[in-house]
């Protein structure tokens, strides 16, 4: 029987690229998203489900339906960022980001974990970000939500490893997706979704705890996290962001 992977946020960007990689390697692949028209475009290639990841009932219906044919990996990839980066906080957008980026992962992991516990095996994967290593200017809820995912994955890995459930946290740098195209600043080490997807496949196959890519960029950002906060503030307090839309 072919192995199976269910991917949230699978209709574009990293999620869609990952779906293609796994499909090419013989996996049964399901993707979900909120846009039915877009899902219809891929229904001949993947199993598709219309799902709002903040709705636990929808997540549960989709994953359980797909799992009837087996379930090996669940990849909680759905996430959003800011439409525009600016100094003054957008608390309405922040609440949306937290709901999708954190609660969406928790909903997905809850359903998957229950199935994996029953099956006796499984692999949980979530997309965090290199942005989760430090509080970055202009994106407080995004940095905070991705930091939360890093720690949620770390804790779950410790709790579930004795139940034969693996956990991998994906921390991309800048990837050329619809989300990053809106960034008003330079994006060092920008990589393609296809390259990122290959790194994810390889990392999950090797049961890596964390997948950090591009590695050089990740090392630089990690180094910043060890700096005294006063020094960190001086380095990043004048970002090259376009704040004209405040």
5: exposed, middle or buried (Cβ count in 10 Å: 0-12, 13-18, 19+): buried
Active site residue 142: yes
Neighbours of 222 (CB within 10 A): 14
102 three-class SS: helix
Separation of alpha carbons 41 and 27, rounded Å: 19
Q: Which two tokens stand for residue 189?
A: 């080490």
CB 76 within 8 A of CB 126: yes
197 three-class SS: helix
Q: Which of 142, 201, 232, 243 is catalytic?
A: 142
Instruction: Tell me the helix, strand and coil percentages in the chain, rounded to 5.
Output: 50, 15, 35
Place of tokens 């095996």: 121
Q: What are the angstrom distances between the C-alpha of 62 and each of 67, 122, 124, 222?
A: 9, 17, 16, 36
Q: End-to-end CA distance of the chain, in Å?
A: 54
* Residues with catalytic roles: 142
């Amino acid at each position: 029987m072919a192995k199976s992977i269910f991917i949230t946020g699978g209709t574009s960007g990293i999620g869609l690229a990952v779906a293609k990689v796994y499909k090419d390697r013989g996996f049964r692949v399901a993707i979900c998203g909120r846009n039915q028209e877009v899902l219809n475009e891929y229904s001949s290639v993947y199993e598709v489900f219309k799902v709002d990841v903040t709705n636990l009932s929808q997540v549960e219906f989709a994953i359980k339906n797909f799992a009837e044919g087996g379930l090996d990996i669940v990849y909680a990839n759905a996430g959003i960022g800011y439409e525009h980066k600016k100094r003054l906080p957008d608390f309405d957008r922040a609440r949306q980001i937290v709901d999708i980026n954190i609660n969406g992962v928790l909903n997905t992991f809850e359903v998957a974990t229950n199935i994996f516990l029953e099956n006796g095996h499984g692999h949980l994967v979530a997309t965090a970000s290199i942005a989760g290593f430090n509080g970055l200017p202009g994106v407080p809820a995004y940095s905070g939500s991705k930091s939360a995912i890093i720690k949620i994955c770390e804790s779950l890995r410790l709790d579930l490893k004795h139940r034969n459930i693996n956990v991998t946290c994906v921390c991309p740098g800048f990837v050329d997706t619809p989300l990053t195209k809106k960034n008003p600043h330079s994006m060092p080490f920008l990589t393609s979704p296809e390259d990122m997807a290959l790194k994810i496949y390889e990392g999950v196959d090797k049961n890596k705890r964390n997948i950090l890519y591009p590695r050089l960029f990740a090392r630089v950002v990690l180094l910043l996290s060890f700096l005294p906060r006063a020094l960190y503030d001086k380095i990043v307090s004048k970002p090259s962001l376009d704040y004209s839309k405040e």
